[in-house]
Amino acid sequence: MTDPESLSRQMLDRLTVSGELSLAWSEAFAAIPRHRFIPDTIWITDGAGLVPLHRSEDPQEWMRRAYGPAAVITQVDDGHPAGPGERGHYITSSASQPDVVALMLAALDAQPGMGGLEIGTGTGYNAALLAHRLGTQNVTSIEIDPELANHARRALTSTGYPVTVVTGDGADGYPDGALYDRIMSTAAVRQVPYPWVVQTRPGGTILTPWGTPYHNGALASFTVNSDGGADGRVVGNVAFMRLRDQRFRATVDDEEGDETTARHSHTTVAPYNVASDYDASLAIGMRVPNCTNIYVPANGDSDYARLWFVDPTTDSWANLVHRPGADDYPVHQSGPRNLWDEIETAYRWWRDAGRPGPQRWRITITPEGQQATLTQASPPARPAS
């Protein structure tokens, strides 16, 4: 069945059975029709990239995706699809997975009557959920993209939740509505914008996806102090698109990545250990700045997969050649930074520190900047690999 009522009940059942939907937010999820916030054109992935799906052409599939467990891609390339036939290169806005929405709202711990600021309105669905629980008059949402903001305003008004939607840069917050009890960002940050701290009431909470160019997958919760700072910790695992002024994009260029002129070495550290282990990649990203990793599988032009590390700010790169079953991996490095050396050093530091998980990290914000430090309390160490 593809009628919205049945699909909505199925979504709620999934979230309830999995334990992701808290009792405090279940009424809001049941009341808000998610499909009313999804634009008529969305994008889906296929072998050729991001392909548009128009509601008018396949209404049943469109409706299934509106209530499905996956995120719904609602904008590509900042609203200007770069490929032929409206195909996209980059995802620039989406309706988050329902389970991620539920996780973040539970972590926000917002109570009725509190004042809240949402950074990144997107479709407006999350703002409607906030308005249902906090009160429409208590919610403000800010969106940098004018078209997205206009769409959200229309959807919020038509569903009975006309919250204040501001078109502007979320990095600046919205001082006209401060002080807020809760600030919630639906865009990831590397540096928490200090205006968010200034605009949050002492004792209030800032909840945001947080990470590094190397690791974009942490949900951080900050408590604002009376001295103008904030203390944060990692409370979940989520990955979001970054604030526009904090984007970090890097690609692998075959011409620039010439292995014949690179510095050669070998390592016994496997690619998985530095890229796919959540705890390790979180730590590496904190100790190796301005570096991202890109996995390129084997294809007709290459016998082996490669894990690339790129710093576009210095034109430095490195790669690890992944040969199945190997216990020794060729390394190539080029540019002023020896990126692999930095990554391997960070990995070995993390391993020797007892393989600390995300709960060990403390993030502090002051007017002077942001710092992540490892706390002393340690859980039992896992066996070495």
Q: Which of 93, 94, 221, 316 is catalytic?
A: 94
Q: Are 142 and 168 a contacting pair, CB within 8 Å? A: yes
User: What would you measure as the largest C-alpha separation in the chain, in angstroms?
Assistant: 63
| Nearest-angstrom CA–CA distance, 383 and 72 | 39
141 is catalytic: no
DSSP letters spanning 27-94: HHHHHS-GGGGS-SEEEEEETTEEEEEETTT-HHHHHHHHTSSS-EEEEEGGGS--SGGG-BSSEEEE
Which two structure tokens, joined as six digits, stand for 120? 């990144």
Q: Who's near 83: CB < 8 A, 6+ residues apart?
A: 49, 50, 89
DSSP state at residue 370: E
Tell which residue, 127, 147, 144, 123, has the closest CA to residue 135.
127
Per-position b or e across 79-103, b if 16+ CB within 10 A of its CB: eebeeeebbbeebbbbbbbbbbbbb
Q: Position 363: which residue type?
A: I
Which two structure tokens, joined as six digits, stand for 370? 């942001």
Rounded to whole angstroms, what are the CA distances from 90 to 23, 51, 70, 81, 315? 36, 11, 17, 9, 22
Q: Which long-range contacts (CB under 8 A, 24 or more apart) does 57-60 make?
A: 59/2, 60/2
Which two structure tokens, joined as six digits, stand for 181? 């009890």
The residues annotated with a catalytic role in the active site are 94
